Chains A and B, each alone.
Chain A
Amino acid sequence: MPFGLLRFGMSRHYPEPRMFRCPDRLKPHYDAVIIGAGGHGLAAAYYLARDHGIREVAVLEKSYLGAGGTGRNTAIIRSNYLTAEGVRFYDESLRLFRDLSADLDLNLFYSRRGHFTLAHSDATLRTMRWRAEVNKHLGVDSELVGPEVIRRECPRLDLSCGGHTPVLGALYHPPGAIARHDAVAWGYGRAASQRGVEIHQQTEVTGIRVQGGRVAGVETSRGFVETGKVLSAVAGYTPAVMEMVGVRTPLEVHPLQACVSEPLKPWLDTIIVSANLHLYVSQSSRGELVMGAALDPYELHSTRSTLDFVEGLAGHLLELFPFLGEVRVLRQWAGLADMTPDFSPIMGKTPVEGLYLDAGWGTWGFKATPVCGKTMAHTLATDRPHPLIESFRLSRFEEFDLVGEKGAASVGH
């Protein structure tokens, strides 16, 4: 290995094949421009090229590939949501995730773990039962279980929570899984690039040119690009992009923080979530505990980390797993969560013809990556919203027709 590394360092040419091409200039025209090279944008580019034959596509990224929410989430994949719209949508995503490694020819470390959402109160238990029934009705493997099943599947968990908030039961979702989030973005990026899509990093979109209510092109930090179709897939930066064309959205941006512990021997093979304690934890294939908690309590467009967050999270973690008291936190970070009032995404067409929106990804964006790519590619190619995303349209707010998704991670029960 050291010799390999030395050869790598001494080599005049980059000795490994590149994951994707880096064209040095923008073309004057593309059939479609996608703003944001995160998982969603790259997946949309991939399905546009693969399923719809639209290959003259540029993905523009102001930073580097996967720099936003894609590389900052806690990588949990599940479909045990509460609304029929949500369950159908996320279950299709889970189905796509299962053979995505083979599809993209890249090991995504997709690992089925089983997902427990613990209930520490009768009210939470009631919501869990509701969710389980909706899930079962729609064919999703999900059930309400008592403490004995939790004890069997996760023996290290202190079900009494030190005596003050005992675990009464849990919503158990066996297909719940984790995957390497960076690999998802890189895999989609490579597969899209192989099919002719261009990925331009360090290219910021500074304006969207609209003529007669139609998109005519985008202004970028590297010049103007003509195009008739633009997809905005920028999550936390959506309000800024929509302001360029004067479209109002109900998005409010809050930081969502996460951290990992130092690597430990494998001891936790399930994903443990507590709705009441606002905590989720799983163990990655590297042995690190990947942990997240609630959103930061006020609007902020910054990825700074706070001590408040780790303090609160550690307190709750120790209630469930007191033996982790000596374990150290290794890294801490934050991402921008673009929250909607009903905890469902905003997907589909906008009042500007040719401008499509994939936003409102709050705390639930990573698990939706494949299905977002697929449905947004369909929407762009046919100019009609895919049936799975019709109810997530931007106009639902003006029509007072919300999709209240109380199964989202950020909702307290």
Chain B
Amino acid sequence: MKLMRCPVNGWRPIQEFSYGGTFRAMPPPEECSDRQWADYVFHRSGAAAVKKEWWCHLASGVWFIAERNTSTDEILRTYLYGEGDHHE
């Protein structure tokens, strides 16, 4: 069984989690151009890499960040949003 570490609830089976997509910084909606907005809404860095992603622990509703290698499915780190920088 594949496990993932929820920053609040500890190691749980992957079935308890939901993928929320790659973490992307939102451009300021009032100031950016239509083109920049379309790029933010639709375009992705689709190639395999280590990516920062949103995940949710469904049972407790905890949203957090996971760093995962999308070619090997290895989960490198999980942490609450805004706390990642303090771990290293």
Residues of chain A with a CB closer than 8 A to B46's CB = 238-239, 242, 249-253, 338
**B18 at the A/B interface (Cβ < 8 Å)?**
yes
**A248 at the A/B interface (Cβ < 8 Å)?**
yes
A300 touches B43 (CB 8 A): no
Residues of chain B with a CB closer than 8 A to A341's CB = 42
CB distance from B28 to the nearest CB of A (A): 19
A302 touches B71 (CB 8 A): yes
A248 touches B73 (CB 8 A): no
A300 to B44, CA, bound (A): 14
**B35 at the A/B interface (Cβ < 8 Å)?**
yes
Q: A298-B19, A299-B19 are known contacts. Are A249 and B72 too (CB-CB below 8 A)?
A: no
B70 touches A300 (CB 8 A): yes
A397 touches B18 (CB 8 A): no
**B25 at the A/B interface (Cβ < 8 Å)?**
no
**B15 at the A/B interface (Cβ < 8 Å)?**
yes
CB distance from A236 to the nearest CB of B (A): 9
B1-38 interface with A by 8 A CB criterion: 15, 18-19, 22, 34-35, 38
A304-331 interface with B by 8 A CB criterion: 304, 308
Chain B, interface size: which category? 20 to 34
Q: How many residues of A contact B (CB 8 A)?
A: 25
Q: A243-B47, A308-B15 are known contacts. Are A301 and B70 too (CB-CB below 8 A)?
A: yes
B47 touches A248 (CB 8 A): no
Please, which residue of chain B has its CB at the minimum distance from the CB of A247? Answer: B43
A397 touches B70 (CB 8 A): no
A399 to B37, CA, bound (A): 11
Identify A302's interface contact among B38, B53, B73, CB under 8 A: B73
Residues of chain A with a CB closer than 8 A to B19's CB = 297-299
A338 to B35, CA, bound (A): 23
**A16 at the A/B interface (Cβ < 8 Å)?**
no
CB distance from A371 to the nearest CB of B (A): 24
A236 to B61, CA, bound (A): 32
A251 touches B44 (CB 8 A): yes
Residues of chain A with a CB closer than 8 A to B44's CB = 239, 248-252
A250 touches B73 (CB 8 A): no
Q: A298-B19, A300-B73, A301-B71 are known contacts. Are A239 and B43 too (CB-CB below 8 A)?
A: no
Residues of chain A with a CB closer than 8 A to B51's CB = 299
A304 touches B73 (CB 8 A): yes
CB distance from A222 to the nearest CB of B (A): 23
Please, which residue of chain A has its CB at the minimum distance from the CB of B48? Answer: A301
CB distance from B15 to the nearest CB of A (A): 7
A299 touches B43 (CB 8 A): no
Residues of chain A with a CB closer than 8 A to B22's CB = 299
Identify A398's interface contact among B38, B47, B53, CB under 8 A: B38
Q: A297-B19, A308-B15, A397-B42 are known contacts. Are A239 and B47 too (CB-CB below 8 A)?
A: yes
B70 touches A299 (CB 8 A): yes
**A22 at the A/B interface (Cβ < 8 Å)?**
no
A300 to B39, CA, bound (A): 22
A250 touches B71 (CB 8 A): no
Contact with B along A332-349 (1 / 0, CB 8 A): 000000100100000000
Residues of chain A with a CB closer than 8 A to B47's CB = 239-240, 243, 301
CB distance from B47 to the nearest CB of A (A): 4
CB distance from B77 to the nearest CB of A (A): 16
Q: A249-B43, A250-B43, A299-B22 are known contacts. Are A240 and B48 too (CB-CB below 8 A)?
A: yes
Which residues does A use to contact B, with CB under 8 Å? 238-240, 242-243, 248-253, 297-302, 304, 308, 338, 341, 397-400
Closest 8 CB pairs of A and B: A239-B46, A298-B19, A301-B48, A250-B42, A248-B43, A239-B47, A397-B42, A251-B46
Which residues does B use to contact A, with CB under 8 Å? 15, 18-19, 22, 34-35, 38-39, 41-48, 51, 53, 70-73
Can you name 25 A-B pairs with beta carbons within 8 Å?
A239-B44, A239-B47, A248-B39, A248-B43, A248-B44, A249-B43, A250-B42, A250-B46, A251-B44, A252-B46, A253-B48, A297-B19, A298-B53, A299-B22, A299-B53, A301-B47, A301-B70, A302-B71, A304-B73, A308-B15, A341-B42, A397-B42, A398-B34, A398-B38, A398-B39
Sample of 13 further A-B pairs with CB below 8 A, known A240-B47, A341-B42: A239-B47, A248-B39, A248-B43, A248-B44, A251-B44, A253-B46, A299-B19, A299-B70, A301-B70, A302-B73, A338-B46, A398-B42, A400-B34
